[in-house]
Amino acid sequence: MSQTDLYTLAGSALFVIGLYGLMTRPHLLHKVLALNISSAGVFFVLVGIARRVPGTTPDPLPHAMVLTGIVVTVSSTAFALALAKRIFTETGTAALDASDVDVEEDAGD
Amino acid sequence: MGKVTPKSPLPIRIAALAICAGVGALLSRAVLAIPETESGLAPLVDANLEASGVKNAVTAVLLNFRGYDTLLEIAVLMLATIGVLSLSVTQKGTWDPIAAQADPVLSALARFLAPVMILVSGYLLWAGEHAPGGAFQAGSVVGAAGVLLALSGYARPAWISRFALRAAISVGFIVFIAVAIGEMIAGGLLLQYPADLAKTLMLLVETWLTVSIGAILVSLFIASASPAEELRMRSGGEG
């Protein structure tokens, strides 16, 4: 197994961990964090495949894409947090489908 | 605050686990299937690096070969910031709310660090021409300096009006699109830099991108980091 394989497989694993969190966690903050873990996985894969030919300079294109991706992730995270915060302000809970999961209402505190 | 975080019901978790296992297997197969003998577009970038006006391949890709991506990226950043500022209940979008929680040690440190960080950001911006660096790294450092100042109790200086802050948020996009359209008027294509002016134009765009990205990151942080006041307003002092 080459170094590139290690990176890209680790990236895929991170992506899937984030995906699982995104699907199973009703709390919006957890979903935002899960999305961030997923994007970290994507960046891992991109940085990994940039260097897949041993002995050459890394492909600058995936690097540029990661650079773009980091910034977009930051802004989408901030926007998601602002939405979650506003949902909490309006409804008193920051979890989706509060009626659908086995949890007590945490409104009002 | 709320109770212990809820989990989804077991059937949903099992279904999610199955989906994730499937996606994971497919992804692993896909990434392992990428051939290790070809290096993608790297040779193409290397061949055209001379014509791009800069010596760093990543900067050349970001600002020249794929300048369109970067133009849209700064647009996304700007839109996200507009969205975050509009969603804020208090409509503040300034760093007054968290300035109250100042720490004397932190503010002494910030006074040392902020000028150094701005200097570093200028270096990164300039170094992007021939080494790793560029507008996004430089803007991140400016943003970090702003966040540090905000956390250590330095309120927004009076000479930065709200209008100035919004102007700083949008100036990067405005300059970028002005350059792009200017190139079209000058007879080229959108974002096709004239060969002799490429370096100057890219530096111009990057400089204003740095200002914008710094302002955007600070605004996003400030708007996201001030929940207590807003909630107290609505729920009557409990937050």
Residues of A whose CB is below 8 A from B25:
none
Higher-scoring residue by pLDDT: A61, A20: A20
Average pLDDT over residues A1-20: 89
Amino acid B152: pLDDT: 81
Amino acid B166: pLDDT: 86
Average pLDDT over residues A17-26: 91
Amino acid A33: pLDDT: 94
Q: Where are the alpha helices (DSSP H) in B4-66?
A: 10-33, 42-52, 57-59
Rounded to a whole number, what is the distance in Å from the CA of B233 to chain A's nearest CA?
10
Q: In chain B, positions 101-120, which contact chain A (CB-CB < 8 Å)?
A: none
Q: In chain A, positions 17-56, which contact chain B (CB-CB < 8 Å)?
A: 17, 19-20, 23-27, 30, 45, 48-50, 52-54, 56
Q: Which helix (H) or strand (E) holds A63?
A: helix A60-91
The CATH number fitting domain A3-91, selected from 1.10.287.3510, 3.60.15.10, 3.40.50.300, 1.20.120.450: 1.10.287.3510
A63 touches chain B (CB under 8 A): yes
CA distances from A65 to A40, A79, B53, B131, B180 (A): 13, 21, 20, 17, 20
Q: How far apart are CA A35 and CA A31, in angstroms?
A: 6
CB A26 within 8 A of CB B8: yes
CA distances from B220 to B7, B82, B144, B165, B212 (A): 29, 9, 12, 12, 12
Name the nearest CA neighbour of B53 among B175, B179, B142: B179
Name the residue facing B42 among A57, A72, A79 (closest C-beta): A57
Residue A95 in 3-state DSSP?
strand
Rounded to a whole number, what is the distance in Å from the CA of A35 to chain B's nearest CA?
14
Average pLDDT over residues A75-91: 86
Task: Look up residue B56 and give its two tokens.
Answer: 């760093």
CA distances from B75 to B4, B10, B105, B117, B180 (A): 39, 41, 37, 25, 14
Asked if residue A20 has pLDDT above 90, the reply is yes
Phi, psi angles (nearest 5°) of residue B174: -65, -45
Higher-scoring residue by pLDDT: A73, B99: A73
Residues of B whose CB is below 8 A from A20:
16-17, 20
B66 touches chain A (CB under 8 A): yes
What count of Cα atoms within 13 Å lies in the side-chain half-sphere of residue B78?
21
Residues of A whose CB is below 8 A from B16:
20, 23-24
CB atoms within 10 A of CB B75: 15
Name the nearest CA neighbour of A15 among A61, A69, A59: A69
**Which residues of chain B, if any, have pLDDT below 70?**
1-6, 37-40, 89-102, 155-159, 225-239
Q: How confident is the model at residue A109 (pLDDT cuts 50, 70, 90)?
A: very low
CA distances from A6 to A13, A37, A55, B32, B90 (A): 10, 17, 17, 10, 47
Interface contact A30-B231, CB threshold 8 A: no
Higher-scoring residue by pLDDT: A3, A7: A7
Q: Which helix (H) or strand (E) holds A50?
A: helix A28-50
Q: How far apart are CA B86 and CA B93, in angstroms?
A: 9
Name the nearest CA neighbour of B118 among B141, B101, B97: B141
Residue pairs between chains A and B whose CB atoms are closer than 8 Å: 172
B220 touches chain A (CB under 8 A): yes
Task: Look up residue B172 and give its two tokens.
Answer: 């990067």
Report yes or no for ipTM above 0.90: no
Amino acid B38: pLDDT: 66
Amino acid A34: pLDDT: 95
What mean pLDDT, rounded, does chain A reach?
A: 82
B29 touches chain A (CB under 8 A): no
Rounded to a whole number, what is the distance in Å from the CA of B31 to chain A's nearest CA?
6
Q: For residue A22, give the chain B residue with the closest CA.
A: B16
A62 touches chain B (CB under 8 A): yes
Q: Rounded to two decimals, what is the model's pTM? A: 0.79
Q: For residue A60, give the chain B residue with the closest CA.
A: B58
The overall longest dimension of chain A from CA atoms, in Å, is 60
Rounded to a whole number, what is the distance in Å from the CA of A29 to chain B's nearest CA?
11
Amino acid B56: pLDDT: 81
Phi, psi angles (nearest 5°) of residue A95: -105, 140
Q: At what angle do helices B198-224 and B67-87 cross, to 10 degrees?
A: 20
Planar angle of CA B123, B128, B133, nearest 5 degrees: 75
Q: How far apart are CA B39 and CA B57, in angstroms?
A: 14
Rounded to a whole number, what is the distance in Å from the CA of B214 to chain A's nearest CA?
11
Higher-scoring residue by pLDDT: B182, A53: B182
Residues B78-129 pLDDT 10s: 999 988 888 876 555 455 555 556 677 887 888 889 999 999 999 998 888 7
Annotated domain spans of chain A: 3-91
Rounded to a whole number, what is the distance in Å from the CA of A10 to chain B's nearest CA?
9
B196 touches chain A (CB under 8 A): no
Amino acid A13: pLDDT: 94
